Amino acid sequence: MQSIAIIGLGLMGTAIAGRLGAAGYALVGYDVDAAKRTNFIAPDRKAAASVAEAVELADTLVLSVFDTAQVEAVVEGPGGIAAAAAALGKRVTVLCTSTCDPDRIEALAQRCVALSVGFIELPISGTSMQVARGDGVGLVGGDPIVVAAAQGVIEAICPRRHFLGPAGNGGRAKLAVNLVLGLNRAALAEGIAFAERAGLDAEKFFGVVRESAAYSAVMDTKGKAMVARKFDAPQSRVDQSLKDFSLMRDYAQRHGQQLPFAGVYVQMLDDCVAHGEAQWDNAAIIESIRRRRA
């Protein structure tokens, strides 16, 4: 039975572990949070005490950490994947599912060639719940030979996937997808807030808009939470969305593109963070809109 290590045991890492476990892989888990390592342990799962131990126990490592800097540190830093693999004299493959700066990931993938580390970019479009159900869409980037060798693992995580060419392209597609998704989320939130302010029952209005020409899939994942104002069981958090939209804004600026709607969205996310809602589900964007008064 092939062992796969998952580095980062948050919402997405846990969902990915469920997919891989169901596909018959033996799992090793590592997170800087000791409680998450303990909770990961099961009859077919081991917890590693360090990234280096995870490399010792598995030849394929799935990264599900917060941002680009963490990915770079886990791969290249002291005690990281490359150093541990070199010390063991083994070659490993890394699948990076984190949403990152595409240019930095492209550069990291190039450096990994010299480090004898196979690097595959695999950001996923979908919430952790969608990924757990097998409904996430994988956006694959990397050397086609390395990707082909890891095809079974990729398919277990994402039955639906697209190969987009070299590493970096997956992240570029993910940022563009998340831009559309986030703005759909904001449009739904503003529509519900407007209906409430107009005196309509929010739940009844949601039933109407869900069957209207305005329908989008985001209504199925976020609408009920917006109406019920229940954000304490996040599928994707406010702070994660802020990180992604800040990446979009900065990337667009570097490449000479203005994103006017994204700028407003970042302001609303900042407002949520300022009101202590950073760990809430990102459907809480509606709370920023509700606080706005003419």
> pLDDT tens digits, residue range 149-162?
999 999 999 999 99
**Burial (CB count <10 Å: 0-12, 13-18, 19+), residue 151:** exposed
> pLDDT tens digits, residue range 213-234?
999 999 999 999 999 999 999 9
Helix (H) or strand (E) holding 14: helix 11-22
List domains and CATH numbers for the chain.
3-166 (3.40.50.720), 172-291 (1.10.1040.10)
- Residue 1 predicted with pLDDT over 80: no
Helices H, strands E: what count in the chain? 15, 9
Q: How far is CA 133 from CA 14, 18, 68, in A?
A: 12, 9, 26
Q: How far apart are CA 92 and CA 62, in angstroms?
A: 11
> pLDDT tens digits, residue range 17-42?
999 999 999 999 999 999 999 999 99
72-97: b or e for each residue (b if 16 or more CB lie within 10 Å)?
bebbbeeebbbbbbeeeeeebbbbbb
> pLDDT tens digits, residue range 86-128?
999 999 999 999 999 999 999 999 999 999 999 999 999 999 9
Its pTM stands at 0.92
Amino acid 171 reads G
Q: Are strands 3-7 and 26-30 parallel, antiparallel or unpaired?
A: parallel
Q: What per-residue confidence (pLDDT) applies to 294?
A: 79
Q: 214: how many CB neighbours lie within 10 A of its CB?
A: 13
- Residue 260 predicted with pLDDT over 90: yes
